[in-house]
Amino acid sequence: SSDLIINKSRTLISTILIGSLISILCSCATLPSTTAPLNKNISWSARQKQTRQITHWKLQGAITVRTPKQALTANINWQQQSRRRYHIYLFGPLGIGSVIIRGQPSLVTLQNADGAIFKAATPEHLLQQELGWTLPISNLYYWIRGLPVPGLPAKKQFDSYHHLIYLQQNGWCIHYLQYTGVNNQDLPSKLSLQYPHLSLHVIISRWDIS
């Protein structure tokens, strides 16, 4: 009947609109920072010294996790308060609901969408134990800023402005695909991390180091 056709049409239009809205929201959540890198012509030692002065920050973006069994995507809000104090909030279409990771010296907690809290000595062990995959959070304290972890062997490659563009360290291979200008210096806004049987892709839409 005509009513049935109209109802089906309305359902189809609603589905298309909802799908389009979801696509728009997802694309907004994963847009990289639009500020171009400053590309100052400085040495690696000078760039490294400047970046090391950033010890606390807030960032927003998106992360994709790929394992042989699954591919997951989530938004990420990360607040770093000091070397071992941080708050990382993963939410969105992760497949497991929201996850809050809180770090402090000698203790890391993970709170899942049901409010259950789990504890461990390191974030890597905790994530592997509870989610079945891990983020190298301890090393990401350095890697996310475009720095190698001090004291660990590393293979490094740079561009002509001495941005770190490739880093091999602690079993991980990190490709720095894009930098953005933040408070008169350049920070990574897109990077890819590879580990045996695990791949991470991070897009940072906003840095706040004020």
Provide the pLDDT for residue 103. 95
Residue-level pLDDT at 72 = 87
pLDDT of 50: 96
* Cβ density class 18-48: b for 16+ within 10 Å, e for less: eeeeeeeeeeebbebbeeebeeeebeeeebb
pLDDT less than 70: residues of the chain: 1-34, 93-96
One-letter amino acid for residue 109 of the chain:
T
Return d(Cα 186, Cα 42) in angstroms, integer.
11
The H helix count followed by the E strand count for the chain is 4, 11
